[in-house]
Amino acid sequence: MSQHLGVAETVGTSAASVGFVKTRINSPRVELAVGLADHAEPHDWTPVNHRTMSRMPRSTRRRFLASSIALATGVSTAGRGPRLLSAPPDDGNQSYLLTTNRDPQDHHDPQLHLMVDDHEIAEQKHVKRIMNRVKKHPRPVLMADRPWEGERAQAWGSVIQEPDGLFRMWYFAFNTQRRFDLLDVGGYAYAESRDGVHWIKPDLGVVDFRGSKRNNLFYSCHPKNKNLVDEELARRGLGLPAIDENGDQIGVINNLDGLTVVRDDDDPDPMRRYKLIANMQDHRMWAPAYPKRYPGVSAAQVARSRSVFGQYMDTSPDGIHWTRRPQRLFPALGGDYMMVTRDHRNRRWWLNERAHDQGGRNASLRTSKDWRAWSKLEVVFGKGSDPQFNKTFQWHGGITPFNYGNVNIGLAERWPLAGLGATCELVCQRPGKKWHRVFPNRPFLDVGAEDSFDRALAYPSHNPPGRVGEKLLFHYTGAGIKRHANRGNPMSMGLATIGLDRFAGLGQWRNLPPGHVRTKPIKLTRKHLAVNVEYMEHTPIRVAVIGPDGSPLPGFSLEDSRIPVDTKRLYSIARWKTKPDLADLVGQQVSLHFEIRGAVLYSYRFYPQLA
């Protein structure tokens, strides 16, 4: 069973100085709040003194953090030139760090049941499904503020949370002016953060910008690794070698779109631990549409550049140093936008791109377990998904799918054809079923208020949410209003958060009759039940365990239920008057009957034992 990183709980002799990392990855998800631990699998806790670490010499902290990533990737960063990981800020308040090789963005957990749809619900009364509202950071968390970045920092890229908790961002810095004196401004950049809020742009020593490699650019399509915009590279006929599926060079590449970086822990070759996947092009293919931009391009050059067009992959041991010989996975079919995320449940990859026969931007997926054999493209949301498709909106870049609990969740990008605001909807899929929209036409990630940095657009980065403590972190591109005639809309990176597992819930409030929710039968394999509840009033939620005949089992009625009201924690342990747990029922098929008063039930989860 896959695991999930949380924030450490302080235990031990001196809470002021020493603690143990007592957190697990993915399972259990909330033991920090309720004191649970899952001993179903062996694991190691790593003691870390966070105050001592904050006072370490910077070089010592760098070595410690580098050792964490070396364990995760199997590759030592020693002697590789620039440091791979930032030291944490010296504020003395960092969480204890967990050294592990598990993925903290793997949210797959078959014991976690979300209230995002009715699939597992047999009966409900006097409740309504509500969408949780994300809380946005009031300002951008990352902006284009370096001479080589232009005026945009946008999430046509990825945010990876490493096993030790470090956030790493690969993003697109864009110069919308494209003046003759700015043809080396804009590119593919990198940043990192300990909390997802405060970001550092390290000097990587990789790409040359005006005679210096002291910058945070990690990739260039220039043969000599100089920074130059795609249009100018195309005009000069320059680019990286475009390698086809058979290993033959078929042309050059000078543009990357839909940039995604993933960490592939299943690849046995540590030199291929990180993978960069993007729609790659020779921009001379656009010469017929923009003859003034690409003068003198022959018909033969256009034809050859079109043959290059496709979805490509490059590899790296550390996410910084790449082979710069991208190989095509397959030709592109219906547009230049794409992204890749991991399907941990099925040990495969999702690749999102556009189908070409939908008459507009759409969301379509294909899958692969080995990066070579890909499934047929499946249209998830297109012209048949909504009668207003192609009238008032299209699906811009598709969806960002990820496992969550025992379902799949995604953010679907809506592109407005009327009105204001490029936003995201919450979508969901039960394994083996079709994707569906949880709250059609209601944004989960919405644009901001007047004069905000994300007034015009809010689109997520190409990855599952990260986690810090009991919060999920969604990084996104925010676009503001265009204020200069010769520039595009300004873009910067924003941050939105929700409580752990709290995408949507079933709620009841005030003086209405109590709400009731009965689940479909579940086979109990673990003896403890935890419920994720947001209390609006000081009234406890109650849960009964129902047998096959529809009656409460002895000792497990609503009247026996004992769940304390705790507004400081997300999860609470279910107990009954004479039954401390579900141990007597393990192996049986039962249903759960929740009674809800003045609260929202977001999820419930089963655990094997309490700490």
Query: What's the average model confidence in pLDDT over 14-26?
Result: 30
Domain containing 551 — which CATH number? 2.60.120
pLDDT of 334: 65
Distance CA 274, CA 252 (A): 22
pLDDT in tens, 592-602: 999 999 999 99
Percent of the chain beyond pLDDT 90? 70
The residue among 81 and 246 whose pLDDT is bigger is 246
| Highest mean predicted confidence (pLDDT) among 51-55, 331-335, 501-505 | 501-505
In a domain, 210, yes or no: no
Q: What is the pLDDT of residues 260-318, one digit of tens each?
A: 999 999 999 999 999 999 999 999 999 999 999 999 999 999 999 999 999 999 999 99
CB 355 within 8 A of CB 376: no
The pTM of this model reads 0.85
Q: In angstroms, rounded to a whole number, what is the distance separating the alpha carbons of residues 246 and 250?
A: 10
Question: Containing H/E element for 51?
Answer: helix 50-54
Q: Mean of the pLDDT values across residues 521-529? A: 97
In-domain check, residue 581? yes
Provide the pLDDT confidence category of residue 61 given band limits of 50, 70 and 90: very low
pLDDT for 161-176, tens place per residue? 999 999 999 999 998 8
Could you report the per-residue pLDDT of 67-113, keeping only the tens digit for each? 444 444 444 443 333 334 443 333 333 322 222 337 889 999 999 99
Res 100: pLDDT: 34
Confidence of residue 396 (pLDDT cuts 50, 70, 90): confident
Q: Are 340 and 352 in contact (CB under 8 A)?
A: yes
Three-class SS state of 92 = coil
Q: Which H or E element spans position 70?
A: helix 58-73
Going from the C-alpha of 215 to that of each of 47, 189, 226, the distances in angstroms are 34, 9, 12
Query: Which pLDDT value is given to residue 402?
Result: 98
Could you tell me the residue range of the domain that residue 533 belongs to?
A: 112-131+508-607
User: Residue 611: its pLDDT value, please?
Assistant: 58
- Which tokens is 326 given? 């991208």
Residue 601 lies in a domain: yes
Structural domain contains residue 166: no
In a domain, 547, yes or no: yes
Band of pLDDT at residue 10, cut at 50, 70 and 90: very low
Q: For residue 347, is pLDDT > 90?
A: yes
A 10 A CB-CB count for 295 gives: 9
Locus of tokens 């007592």 = 22
By CB atoms closer than 10 A (0-12, 13-18, 19+), residue 522 is: middle
- What is the greatest pairwise CA distance in the chain? 85
- Rounded CA gap, 129 and 221, in Å? 48
Please name the amino acid found at residue 13. Answer: T
pLDDT surpasses 70 at 590: yes
pLDDT of residue 359: 78
Q: How far apart are CA 406 and CA 108, in angstroms?
A: 6
Q: CA 323 to CA 511: how far, in whole Å?
A: 64
Whether the predicted pLDDT of 247 surpasses 90: yes
Average pLDDT over residues 324-328: 98
DSSP letter at 520? P
CB 184 within 8 A of CB 227: yes
Query: What pLDDT shows up at residue 418?
Result: 87
Please, are residues 64 and 50 in contact by the beta-carbon 8 Å criterion? no
Radius of gyration of the chain (CA): 25
Would you place residue 336 in the very low, low, confident or very high pLDDT band (cuts 50, 70, 90)?
low
- Determine the average pLDDT of the residues in 519-530: 97
Cα separation of 482 and 196, whole Å? 27
Instruction: Decide if 592 is inside a domain.
Output: yes
Whether 337 is in a domain gets the answer no
SS (H, E, C) 428-448: EECCCCCCEECCCCCCCECCC
- Our CA angle for 442, 446, 448, nearest 5°, is 140
Query: Of 108-117, 124-133, 177-186, 496-505, where does mean pLDDT reach its minimum?
Result: 177-186
* Arithmetic mean of pLDDT, 489-504: 97
- The mean pLDDT of the chain is 85
Which of 60-69, 97-106, 560-569 bottoms out in mean pLDDT, i.e. has the lowest?
60-69
Residue 267 in tokens: 């690849």
Q: Are strands 107-108 and 393-405 parallel, antiparallel or unpaired?
A: parallel
The total number of structural domains that make up the chain: 1
Q: Tell me: the pLDDT tens digits for 184-241?
A: 999 999 999 999 999 999 999 999 999 999 999 999 999 999 999 999 999 999 999 9
256, 241 contact by CB (below 8 A): no
For 131-172, the pLDDT digits (tens) are 999 999 999 999 999 999 999 999 889 999 999 999 999 999
Segment among 2-11, 321-330, 376-385 with least mean pLDDT: 2-11
What backbone phi and psi angles, to 5 degrees, belong to 284? Answer: -65, -15
Which residues make Cβ contacts (< 8 Å) with residue 482, sequence separation at least 6?
Answer: 488, 489, 490
| Residue 108 bridge partners (DSSP) | 405
- Domain for residue 266, yes or no? no
